[in-house]
Amino acid sequence: MKIGILGAGSIGGTVGTLWAQAGHEVRFGTRHPGEVKGLVERLGARASAGTPEDAARFGDAVLLAVPVAAVPALGRAIANLVAGKVVLDASNAYRNRDGALADAAMGHPQGSSGWVASTLVRSPRPSGWCAMRDSGQSSSARWARASSSNPTRRSMGVECGRPM
Residue 136 resides in a domain = yes
Measured between alpha carbons, how far is 2 from 135 in angstroms, rounded to an integer?
25
Measured between alpha carbons, how far is 42 from 54 in angstroms, rounded to an integer?
20
Residue 7 resides in a domain = yes
Parent domain of 54: 2-148
Measured between alpha carbons, how far is 45 from 105 in angstroms, rounded to an integer?
37
Residue 154 resides in a domain = no
* Reported pTM: 0.75
Residue 160 resides in a domain = no
Q: What is the CATH number of the domain that holds 23?
A: 3.40.50.720
Q: What is the pLDDT of residue 112?
A: 81
As for how many domains the chain has, the answer is 1
Q: What is the pLDDT of residue 87?
A: 87
Burial class (CB in 10 A: 0-12, 13-18, 19+), 49: buried
Residue 164 resides in a domain = no
Residue 90 resides in a domain = yes
Q: In this model, does residue 114 exceed pLDDT 70? A: yes
Confidence band (pLDDT; 50, 70, 90) for 121? low
Q: What is the pLDDT of residue 123?
A: 52
Measured between alpha carbons, how far is 6 from 28 in angstroms, rounded to an integer?
6
- Highest mean pLDDT of the ranges 32-36, 82-86, 113-117: 32-36
Residue 158 resides in a domain = no
Residue 117 resides in a domain = yes
Q: In this model, does residue 128 exceed pLDDT 50? A: no
Encode 75-100: b = buried (16+ Cβ within 10 Å), e = exposed. beebeebbeebbbbbbbbbeeeebee
pLDDT in tens, 132-147: 444 444 444 444 433 3
